[in-house]
Amino acid sequence: MTKNILESVIIQTNFPGLKLINRGKVRDIYDFGDSLLIVATDRISAFDVVMNEGIPYKGKVLTQISDYWFEQMKDIVPNHLTSSIVYDFPSGCKPYWDVLNDRSMFVKKTKPLPVECIVRGYLSGSGWNEYKNNRMVCGIRLPDGLVESSKLPAPIFTPTTKEEAGKHDQNISFEDMCSLVGREMANKVRDVSINIFKRGSDLAEKKGIIIADTKMEFGLNDNGDLILIDELLTPDSSRLWLKDKYEPGRGQDSFDKQFVRDYLLSVNFNKKPPAPKLPEEVILKTSALYLEALKRLSGRTLV
């Protein structure tokens, strides 16, 4: 059974007759003129390095969770999703339905904004490391006396650059973002991002999950309208914690890929390719965490 699960992993896709235009850390993207086919593989990256092994069901989990959240947020901002049902896809996709099912989205093409939109509701990760040094996170001053995993007085918006695969996104100030996209657009993106985070947090907490922080991406359509793109509030783009085990002052039990990061740190991974081999127990535990996140957040199951 375990062997079958591991053999079902999709590391990358190759669809003769379809136009592949990009392979990201996780997603393979095919061009259909004014639309894109985005396929979430089971690849996993940590410290900006893509692992050699995939995580069973991971791509399907990311797609299904994003599909759920896009529906919840569509009155806040439109999104790029046309359909996540393979029968709706162009006829050229039909030979590949088995691979595409549950892990792909047919989306409207947009012009992506050159920033990643980070919203933080809790003090963790790089934010916690920076706070320890100067009581600030990305130029935003925070109260004294906070500890690791503290809930912030209010969510904060901390944009970053959008770097190529293999390079680490760099924190920028809100003023820097204004210079990249214009002040009016920056204000709108910040407000929309925080509204999405607040709604998502409220819904997730009712299901026993804390969204500590998250990353969002936006694009503009041909009319210049703001469109939510990529993925949304997934274990890849967010820190997701167990609410009933939350305890400020330490790291938290998590549904994201922190389990993989912790393993890599335990073997003194230098955070540069090539990646070390992931043990089977790390792969299966990570898969179980992703599946549990899907079930808790959306009520959907894959196995």
pLDDT digits (tens, 9 = 90+) for 36-57: 999 999 999 998 899 999 999 9
pLDDT at 166 over 80: no
Q: In this model, does residue 111 exceed pLDDT 90?
A: yes
Categorize the per-residue pLDDT at 303 as very low, low, confident or very high, splitting at 50, 70 and 90: confident
pLDDT (average), residues 251-260: 88
- Over 70: is that where the pLDDT of 110 sits? yes
Please, are residues 189 and 287 in contact by the beta-carbon 8 Å criterion?
no
Give, in order, the Cα–Cα distances in Å from 239 to each of 12, 81, 101, 151, 193. 25, 23, 26, 13, 16
Check residue 169 and give its pLDDT: 76
Residue 56, pLDDT score: 97
Percent of the chain with pLDDT over 90: 88
Mean pLDDT value of segment 162-191:
88
The reported pLDDT for the residue numbered 2 is: 67
Percent of the chain with pLDDT over 70: 97
Tell me the domain boundaries of the chain.
2-109+257-267+284-298, 112-245
What pLDDT does residue 37 have?
98
Class of domain 2-109+257-267+284-298: alpha beta
Q: Which residue has the higher pLDDT, 74 or 165?
A: 74
183: pLDDT strictly greater than 70: yes
- DSSP string covering 120-171: EEE--HHHHHHHHHHSEETTEE--TT--TTPEEEEEEE--EE-PPTTS---B
Output the pTM of the full model. Answer: 0.95
Question: In 3-state terms, what secondary structure has residue 101?
Answer: coil
pLDDT score of 130: 93
Mean residue pLDDT across the chain: 95
Second-level CATH architecture of 112-245: 2-Layer Sandwich (3.30)
Structure tokens at 227: 């469109």
pLDDT at 196 over 70: yes
The mean per-residue pLDDT over the stretch 244-262 comes to 91
Q: What is the pLDDT of residue 164?
A: 64
Of 298, 206, 293, whose CA–CA distance to 253 is shortest? 293
Q: What is the pLDDT of residue 165?
A: 57
Buried b (16+ CB within 10 A) or exposed e, 120-129: bbbbbbbbbe
Query: What's the CA gap between 177 and 187, in Å, rounded?
Result: 10
